């Protein structure tokens, strides 16, 4: 009765396992979702809901036909930022008064998305400021920083979202506003374009 594997059987088994790993590891890497894509889509969805809630809030319901005019003189400098933060699930402090950046965001949501660029007067229709860029990003470790910077082509801005005075959210155009990376993250831009026209 045989009680052990021979050396040749063990080597063949190890060779089969090595071949399977060589095939499976690249496949698994391709299936794993891009972190930027996941966080950016989540941030866009959250921002669409937050802006819709802000437009329905009493802060912006100044008149029936001007609820979306966030540049109205009755709206304070930090009201937009505070209203967006109150519509999101924020973790920790909300700072809508000071200049913000990735290191010092306006707020961070419980799922780790950093939001900044929301402080100050948002729109001024008289001077033609009808859109505003805000920035979002996920937590990035020091070891990942160089890789992310290379993929995006920039590091200091984070991922951009454009907000219009009438509450529409979009990613801007690649030609004029350098939204190449953001638009590449969206597999189906048609759904976002459809929400802009509603």
- Determine the pLDDT at residue 178: 81
Q: Distance of CA 194 to CAs 97, 182, 183, 184, 188, Å?
A: 34, 17, 15, 18, 11
Which parts of the chain sit beneath pLDDT 50? Answer: 62-68, 193-198
Task: Assess if residue 107 is contained within a domain.
Answer: yes
Percent of the chain with pLDDT over 70: 73
Task: Assess if residue 4 is contained within a domain.
Answer: no
Number of domains in the chain: 1
Task: Assess if residue 20 is contained within a domain.
Answer: no
Which domain does 65 fall in, by range? 36-197
Give, for 21, the enclosing helix (H) or strand (E). helix 7-31
Task: Assess if residue 23 is contained within a domain.
Answer: no
Task: Assess if residue 59 is contained within a domain.
Answer: yes
- The pTM of this model reads 0.72
Please write the tens of the pLDDT for every residue from 153-176. Answer: 665 678 899 888 777 888 877 666
Which is it for the CA torsion 187, 188, 191, 197, positive or negative? Answer: positive
Task: Assess if residue 1 is contained within a domain.
Answer: no
| Nearest alpha-carbon partner for 42 in 194, 185, 195, 197 | 185
Task: Assess if residue 7 is contained within a domain.
Answer: no
């Amino acid at each position: 009765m045989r009680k052990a594997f021979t050396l040749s059987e063990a080597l063949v088994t190890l060779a089969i396992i090595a071949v399977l790993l060589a095939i499976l590891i690249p496949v698994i890497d391709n299936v794993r979702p891009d972190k930027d894509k996941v966080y950016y889509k989540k941030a866009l969805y959250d921002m669409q809901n937050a802006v819709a809630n802000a437009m329905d809030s009493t802060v912006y319901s100044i008149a029936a036909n001007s609820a979306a005019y966030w540049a109205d003189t009755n709206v304070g400098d930090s009201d937009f930022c505070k209203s967006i933060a109150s519509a999101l699930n924020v973790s920790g402090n909300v700072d809508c008064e000071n200049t913000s950046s990735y290191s010092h965001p306006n707020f961070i949501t419980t799922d780790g998305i950093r939001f900044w660029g929301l402080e100050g007067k948002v729109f001024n229709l008289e001077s033609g400021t009808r859109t505003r860029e805000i920035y979002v990003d996920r937590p990035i470790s020091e070891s990942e920083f160089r890789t992310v910077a290379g993929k995006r082509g920039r590091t200091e801005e984070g991922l951009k979202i454009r907000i219009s005075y009438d509450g529409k959210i979009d990613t801007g155009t690649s030609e004029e506003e350098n939204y190449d990376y953001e638009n590449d993250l969206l597999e189906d831009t048609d759904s976002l374009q459809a929400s802009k026209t509603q």
